[in-house]
Structure 1
Amino acid sequence: MDTDVVIAGAGPAGLRLATELAIAGVRANVVETLETRSGQSKATNLQPRTAEIFALRALFAGVDDQSIGRVEGGGRRNWQLARFEQDDDSVTVYGPEQLRARFLIGCDGGRSTVRKLLGVEFDTCA
């Protein structure tokens, strides 16, 4: 196993999840399609429960451009997820290289590659 979890998407949700997993001792590897930060706002709304969790962790400071490489397991930019295969014990994620993990988690936004590869519909009016 290369890592415990592969997280697709290095936005606020993916990086926050990677940090929480690292605190819990779980090895996570973040993969991101963009080579650099987009400069566009992401996850612009903060729900009250999210604010409570952030306050518990003293996390109202911003996420900087270097955060993707700071989680154990690391991160990869300019990494396009092409496909994945799942068996009883693991998932193998294919992109510029192959990663094997126990879990793949899609934090890759409204146009999620993970969701599309799973065939899960997304109703934008929900």
Structure 2
Amino acid sequence: MSMQPTREASSTLVDVIDRVLDKGLVINADICVSVAGVELLGIKIRAALASFETAAHYGLEFPSGTNYNTDAWKEAQKGKETCPQCGKRVFTEELLSKCCPWCGWVSARARESLLDKNEESIAIVD
């Protein structure tokens, strides 16, 4: 039995960009222009493309003058996890203690917390 490659549903440009920013992309290139064995021009390129969240996670150094007080930077500093049901990125604390705001998935911790609250409210009523 031979293995056949499978593809998920077709990806859009937005999906590709989202994946690149989420995972990060590093480009290392050395360009050399030479004539008759004599190097005339040498260029070394080191570039990284990533979201603020990914860059902060890997400790990439930002250019001087970067404003760290923006809402986007503060949001990038908060931990996020991927929802196991819908695959969207959600703040870890919200995902574990409440539910996924996108699909309504409830973690075991949140489910247990809800059961404890229901038992307390029943005890108060009795």
Shorter-chain TM range is under 0.3
TM-score normalised by length of structure 2: 0.22
Greater RCO structure (CA 8 Å; 6+ sep): 1
TM-score normalised by length of structure 1: 0.22
From the two aligned structures, give the one with the greater helix fraction.
2
